[in-house]
Amino acid sequence: MNKIISAITILFFGLAFSQVGIGKSNPVETLDINGNMKLSKNLYLENPGVYLGSSINSYLMVKDNSNNVLKRYVPETASYSAINSVTYAFTRVNFSGLTNYDTGISSSAYYLTIGGYIIRGGGDSSNVYVTGNNNNIPMYSARAFVQNGTWRLTFLPNHNRVFTVPAEQTQKNIEIRLNIIVYKRDMLTMVNPTIIHNMNANTSGEGTATPPEKM
């Protein structure tokens, strides 16, 4: 016990007056450690300051849940980065649209949103129409939803409509491209609830709803 107290005393005495190296003969920082460190309780960083350097060589630290070890998070070598963008290109789609496409992306590990879309006639034709009454809007919609633990995609005409192409078009089908954004769930601190605002038939308004806690 006395040896432990003496070692701690020497360590803090050294920290107060010079640079201390553990496993290093020539320390370059106040405390310079070369080796593994085990911390059984809490680590507090009081007033660490704001990093003003370049982010090129900066990395996030993440905890490996398999062994509780802090590791450097490197997007280039990770299976998925914090935010991923991918385009799904669906060819030879039926005129009824895309009803239920399973992306295979886990809903317990990721959030998924549709950022944009392109629809056109088969064979790179830009001519595609929607049958039915044009007074009913929207004419079609894109949606991402969860089913059986994975994210699914739909792109459908609304109000009993179907897609169609000109009679002279050779390929009687359509092509749909969906721009998908995938977020790692453990990288988001909070998912805010839906903000509802009653516009009372007005075309402009002012934010009176409760703002999100974090943006």
Together in a domain, 29 and 105: no
Residues 175 and 87 in one domain: yes
Per-residue confidence (pLDDT) for residue 107, from 0 to 100: 92
Give me the domain span that covers residue 17: 1-35
In tens, the pLDDT along 154-173 reads 998 887 788 888 777 777 78
Specify the pLDDT at position 136: 63
Q: Is residue 201 part of a domain?
A: no
Q: What is the total residue count of the chain?
A: 215
Same domain, 16 and 89: no
The pTM assigned to this predicted structure is 0.56
CA distance 101 to 208: 38
CB atoms within 10 A of CB 98: 20
User: In the prediction, which pLDDT does 42 show?
Assistant: 73
For residue 43, being part of any structural domain is answered with: no
Q: How many domains does the chain have?
A: 2
SS3 105: strand
Shared domain for 175 and 90, answered yes or no, is yes
pLDDT tens, position by position, 31-67:
888 888 777 777 776 776 666 666 666 667 777 777 8
Q: Is residue 44 part of a domain?
A: no
Q: Is 183 domain-assigned?
A: yes
- CA 10, CA 215: separation in Å to the nearest integer? 46
Residues 100 and 166 in one domain: yes
Claim to verify: residue 88 and residue 153 sit in the same structural domain: yes
Q: What residues does 21 pair with on adjacent strands? A: 32
Residue 74 domain-assigned?
A: no
Regarding whether 25 and 114 lie in a shared domain, the answer is no
Token output for 209? 């709803």
Residue type, 12: F
Instruction: Please give the pLDDT value at position 181.
Output: 92
- 183 in the same domain as 118: yes
97 and 31 belong to one structural domain: no
**Helix, strand, coil % in the chain, rounded to nearest 5:** 10, 35, 55
The confidence score (pLDDT) of residue 215 equals 46
Residues 90 and 183 in one domain: yes
Distances (CA, A) of 83 to 24, 57, 151: 38, 19, 16
